[in-house]
Amino acid sequence: MTDRRVVLVTGSTDGIGRATARALAAGGMKVILHGRTKPKVDAALAALSAELPGAELEGVSFDLGSQAGVRRGAEQILARVPALHVLVNNAGIFADERVVTDDGVELTFAVNHIGPFLLTELLAPRLEESATTAPSRVINVASIAHTRGRIHIDDLTLANGWTGYAAYAMSKLANVMHALTLAERHAPEKLVTYSLHPGVIGTKLLRQGFGPVAGAAAEVGARTSVRL
């Protein structure tokens, strides 16, 4: 059994998530990498293991856009690690078309909020149990786009007036609200929660959502999550 603190970073096969995982592993934490597909997770594990000999790394693959997939992923994590100290809800998408999942949820909202929300609920008991010497943490990687978001409570699938930005901004506002709600529901000596804007970072998501916009390196975007 590892004596290292254990962190799960969702969406850590590339971009900010991978930079976050690398920095945390280099700092001595055991890191569980997550991605939607096993080949991507395996490739990220191999690359980081080569970069960081001696790092303690594991991988898990599941689709945050599927509630059944999230439940299976949480079961795998709980079965494999007896302690979990940090959950970084980093994974996110910026869709270029409106898609409704099999669960009846608009895809951006499913991947960016509903999936992370469900994952957090399923892992929260383990996080609290692991807070023996310091509070465990949930870190939601949100975006300054939350300031332009609106929760369309009567039209969460955005059947009327969907745009990629509207869907993204709504999901990021939900990330911030989720962190606030977690802080209200959990004792601070057991679980503390944060939401953050990582900056304008030159990731695949930025290019897909905003075109050829200049952005900072992924390592810059990871700094706040790593510090928290």
CB 58, CB 33: distance < 8 Å: yes
What's the rounded Cα separation, in Å, for the pair 30 and 84?
10
Kindly report the three-state secondary structure assignment for every residue of the chain: CCCCCEEEECCCCCHHHHHHHHHHHHCCCEEEEEECCHHHHHHHHHHHHHHCCCCCEEEEECCCCCHHHHHHHHHHHHHHCCCCCEEEECCCCCCCCCCECCCCCEHHHHHHHHHHHHHHHHHHHHHHHCCCCCCEEEEEECCHHHHHCCCCCCCCCCCCCCCHHHHHHHHHHHHHHHHHHHHHHCCCCCEEEEEECCCCECCHHHHHHHCCCCCECHHHHHHHHHHC
CB 56, CB 102: distance < 8 Å: no
Q: Name the active-site residue from 62, 119, 168, 182.
A: 168
Could you tell me which of 18, 24, 23, 19 has the C-alpha nearest to residue 6?
Answer: 24
Tell me, yes or no, if 165 is annotated catalytic: no
Catalytic residue numbers read 168
